[in-house]
């Protein structure tokens, strides 16, 4: 009697432990076709607040050796700190698959990695897309940039504002132009914004905003520029 109990108890405990969390495994999709290459169609380099669902889905295309889209190929998505829905998909008739991305809670850069298996177990093809999450400071910077800066620093026009970019010589730098701006230190950027272009021997077309913006607001604009820099900005590299 006692012995039987000694046998039943661990079995019961084992059963209890394994039923604690019903494993939520998504049904595995089976690819009907394979491609050799995966490329971005749209949805990379979006900018949004932390935790936000991105406005546009990320759309990828799986191509075969002939460069045409491969329908029913398997694409799996992953990304540290990201919520990706669905986690895997089969490509549609044109060889495309899309995923809705929700950013994580930490400001900074997130990578969406999309993979597709190559034919005959020949490994996987992969593409990585960058997405940018803005924290409080960068959001303040974006708001200020939208009001005071973009009309000259962004060549795109909208119904509310016509871009002044083309009227200026030398042309202004885009705030995302990491190739130029990553090399300029925070101290110098503060000088240009606060005291105008001539403070660093540059064009007076950039007026001085030091009386208009508070120091914290200038810092916020710089934080925003750093956040959207392409190629990405790294504080160590700048030093």
Q: What is the CA radius of gyration of the chain?
A: 25
Number of residues in contact with other proteins under rule CB under 8 A = 48
Token pair for residue 61? 């295309």
Shortest distance (Å) from residue 235 CB to other proteins? 8
Q: DSSP states of 38-61 as a string? A: EEEEE--S-EEETTPBPSS-EEEE
Residues 129-158 interacting with other proteins (rule: CB under 8 A): 135-137, 139-140, 142-144, 147-148, 151-152
Q: If we measure between CA atoms, which residue out of 18, 131, 12, 13 comes closest to residue 77?
A: 131
Residues 23-82 interacting with other proteins (rule: CB under 8 A): 49-53, 55, 80-81
Q: Is 126 near other proteins (CB under 8 A)?
A: no
Which residues, at least 6 apart from 127, have a Cβ–Cβ distance to it below 8 Å?
A: 38, 39, 40, 60, 113, 114
Within 10 A of 33 (CB to CB), how many other CB atoms are there?
Answer: 16
Q: Which of 119, 171, 210, 232 binds other proteins (CB under 8 A)?
A: 210
Q: Is 215 near other proteins (CB under 8 A)?
A: no
Binding residues for other proteins, rule: CB under 8 A, are: 49-53, 55, 80-81, 102-107, 135-137, 139-140, 142-144, 147-148, 151-152, 159, 161-164, 167-168, 195-196, 198, 203-205, 207-212, 217, 220, 223
């Amino acid at each position: 009697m006692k012995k039987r109990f000694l046998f039943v108890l661990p079995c019961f405990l084992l059963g209890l432990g394994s039923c604690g969390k019903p494993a939520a495994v998504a049904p595995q999709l089976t690819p009907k076709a394979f491609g050799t290459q995966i490329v971005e169609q749209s949805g990379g380099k979006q900018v949004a607040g932390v935790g936000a669902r991105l406005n546009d889905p990320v759309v990828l295309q799986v191509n075969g050796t002939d460069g045409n889209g491969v329908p029913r190929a398997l694409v799996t998505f992953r990304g540290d700190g990201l919520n990706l829905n669905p986690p895997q998909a089969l490509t549609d008739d044109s060889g495309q698959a899309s995923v809705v991305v929700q950013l994580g809670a930490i400001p900074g850069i997130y990578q969406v990695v999309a993979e597709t298996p190559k034919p005959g177990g020949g490994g996987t093809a992969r593409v990585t897309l960058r997405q940018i999450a803005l924290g409080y400071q960068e959001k303040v910077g974006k708001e200020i940039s939208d009001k005071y800066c973009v009309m000259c620093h962004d060549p795109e026009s909208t119904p509310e504002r016509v871009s002044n970019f083309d009227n200026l010589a030398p042309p202004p730098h885009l705030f995302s132009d990491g190739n130029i701006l990553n090399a300029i230190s925070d101290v110098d950027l503060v000088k240009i914004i606060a005291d105008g272009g001539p403070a660093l021997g540059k064009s007076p077309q950039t007026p001085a905003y030091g009386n208009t913006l508070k120091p914290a607001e200038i810092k916020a604009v710089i934080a925003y520029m750093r956040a959207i820099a392409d190629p990405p900005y790294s504080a160590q590299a700048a030093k």
